[in-house]
């Protein structure tokens, strides 16, 4: 049955679900009820090291030399499996994150499927190299570029779009022939581990994808400082992003990609379509239960329309229903 996908609480390392080395756990909370949704295994530096060893072995043994066609087919299969279990994944995403079920299914799961399919299409196309003509004095010579996978990539994702953030990190690196060690947010660890079951079912080799639950100062820092991680990808705050750069520099000068949260105010002037502006402000603030780095939490309003805009914003907000997501 499509809805039979179980909620997993262990780390996913080398295609197996395993407990933490030290046995430590933490609770993930349903924010709507403040009840414990599940008790998860908590990753330490030892668990991160196990995952990196598995990822390195998988990269060196099979994945680095895999064909773009084979990676394409696996990514398409994974996308189909996620789509098959869309209802169940959306349900758990809503329970763990607090976002409305309609957003979890219509945005998170649907876009996750699209993202894996998009990069599946790049797997056998985007890794091609080029031949480049040299100067006229060396007409019988040419330069050649070859695209190669980076290696083991560490990924750290936030809580607001757990499934989609996982896809944004994994899909491109898998298409390019890299392997991954991904740490979820301590607030929303559930759906990534559920997708790990589908990664295994799709046929990805052991060690290609490893997913762990845990906290930043322990698991996150261990990943950022690991000497056998070739690149680190982080989505989160600017303050932690700065620490990620420091960790990379102080360890093995690993490559770094950062997507750091920011806030930009919405500006409403008196020549605007006020109703349209209020609708945009309302959506920008309340979409995904307000959990967006580009949410309209600040609005600068020209004084001549200030009272009108505020009144209409209050009216729109009062129509919201507070209930189970």
Return averaged pLDDT per consecutive 10 residues of the chain, 325 residues in all: 79 98 96 95 98 97 91 98 97 94 93 97 84 71 86 96 96 97 97 98 98 96 98 94 96 96 85 95 86 84 96 93 81
271 and 250 together in one domain: no
- Please confirm, yes or no, whether 293 is among the known catalytic residues: yes
Spell out the alpha helix ranges (H) of 9-153: 45-61, 68-84, 86-97, 101-103, 110-123
Helix 274-286 with 306-318: angle, nearest 10 deg: 50
What pLDDT is attached to residue 255? 97
Q: Round to whole Å and give the CA distance between 275 and 312.
A: 8
Question: Does residue 137 lie in a domain region?
Answer: no
174 and 285 together in one domain: no
What pLDDT is attached to residue 34? 94
The one catalytic residue in 64, 292, 293, 308 is: 293
Q: Which residues contact 235 (CB under 8 A, 6 or more apart)?
A: 156, 157, 158, 165, 168, 169, 258, 259, 260
Provide the b/e sequence for 246-257 (b: ≥16 CB within 10 Å).
ebbeeeeebebe
The residues with which 6 forms a beta bridge, in sequence order, are: none
Question: Does residue 19 lie in a domain region?
Answer: yes
Q: Round to whole Å and give the CA distance between 180 and 152.
A: 6
95 and 167 together in one domain: yes
Residue 323 DSSP label: S
What pLDDT is attached to residue 1? 43
Last residue of a domain, one of 223, 240, 260: 260
210 and 279 together in one domain: no
Phi/psi for 57 (5° steps) reads -65, -40
173 and 246 together in one domain: yes
How many other C-beta atoms are found inside a 10 Å radius of the C-beta of residue 169?
23
What pLDDT is attached to residue 2? 46
66 and 164 together in one domain: yes
Q: Which residues contact 176 (CB under 8 A, 6 or more apart)?
A: 123, 126, 127, 147, 149, 150
Cβ atoms 147, 127 nearer than 8 A: yes
| SS3 state at 25 | strand
Strand boundaries in the chain, DSSP class E: 11-13, 16-18, 25-30, 35-41, 130-133, 142-145, 152-156, 179-183, 209-212, 231-236, 255-260, 266-268, 299-301
The one catalytic residue in 64, 259, 292, 308 is: 259
Question: Does residue 287 lie in a domain region?
Answer: yes
Question: Does residue 236 lie in a domain region?
Answer: yes
State the residue range of the domain holding 108.
11-128+148-260
> What are the angstrom distances between the C-alpha of 301 and each of 59, 191, 228, 294?
53, 40, 51, 18
What pLDDT is attached to residue 165? 96
> What are the angstrom distances between the C-alpha of 318 and each of 10, 96, 286, 292, 312?
41, 25, 12, 21, 10
Cβ atoms 152, 99 nearer than 8 A: no
219 and 276 together in one domain: no
99 and 114 together in one domain: yes
pTM: predicted TM-score of the whole model, two decimal places: 0.90
Overall number of domains in the chain: 2
- Please confirm, yes or no, whether 35 is among the known catalytic residues: no
Provide the b/e sequence for 17-54 (b: ≥16 CB within 10 Å).
beebbeebebebbbbbeeeebbebbbbbbebbbbbbbb
Give the count of alpha carbons within 13 A of 324, CB side only. 5
The residues with which 132 forms a beta bridge, in sequence order, are: 143
Task: Please choose, from the candidates 172, 159, 148, 186, the residue with its C-alpha nearest in 3D space to the C-alpha of residue 24.
Answer: 186
Both tokens assigned to 173: 């690196």
Phi/psi for 216 (5° steps) reads -60, -50
154 and 226 together in one domain: yes
């Amino acid at each position: 049955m499509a809805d039979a996908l179980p909620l997993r609480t262990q780390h996913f390392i080398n295609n197996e679900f395993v407990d933490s080395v030290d046995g430590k756990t933490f609770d993930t909370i349903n924010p709507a009820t403040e009840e414990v949704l599940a008790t998860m295994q908590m990753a330490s530096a030892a668990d991160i090291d196990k995952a990196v060893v598995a990822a390195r072995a998988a990269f060196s043994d099979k994945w680095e030399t895999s064909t773009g066609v084979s990676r394409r087919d696996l990514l398409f299969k994974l996308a189909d499996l996620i789509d098959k279990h869309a209802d169940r994944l959306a349900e758990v995403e809503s329970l763990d994150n607090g976002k409305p079920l309609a957003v979890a299914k219509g945005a998170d799961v649907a876009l996750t499927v699209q993202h894996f399919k998009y990069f599946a299409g790049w797997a056998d196309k985007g890794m091609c190299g080029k031949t480049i003509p040299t100067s006229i004095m060396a007409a019988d010579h040419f330069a050649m570029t070859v695209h190669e996978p980076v290696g083991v990539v560490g990924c750290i994702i936030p809580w607001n779009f757990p499934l989609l953030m996982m896809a944004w990190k994994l899909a491109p690196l898998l298409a390019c022939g890299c392997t991954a060690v991904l740490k979820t947010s301590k607030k929303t660890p559930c759906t990534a581990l559920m997708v790990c079951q589908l990664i295994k079912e799709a046929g990805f080799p052991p060690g290609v994808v490893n997913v762990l639950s845990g906290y930043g100062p322990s698991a996150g820092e261990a990943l950022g400082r690991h000497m056998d991680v070739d690149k680190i990808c982080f989505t989160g705050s600017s303050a932690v992003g700065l620490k990620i750069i420091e960790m990379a520099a102080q360890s093995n000068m690993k490559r770094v990609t950062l997507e750091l949260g920011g806030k930009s105010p919405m500006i409403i002037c008196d020549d605007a379509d006020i109703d349209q502006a209020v609708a945009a402000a309302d959506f920008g603030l309340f979409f995904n239960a307000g959990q967006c780095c580009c949410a309209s939490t600040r609005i600068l309003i020209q004084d001549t329309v200030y009272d009108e805009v505020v009144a209409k914003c209050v009216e729109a907000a009062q129509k919201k229903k507070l209930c189970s997501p």
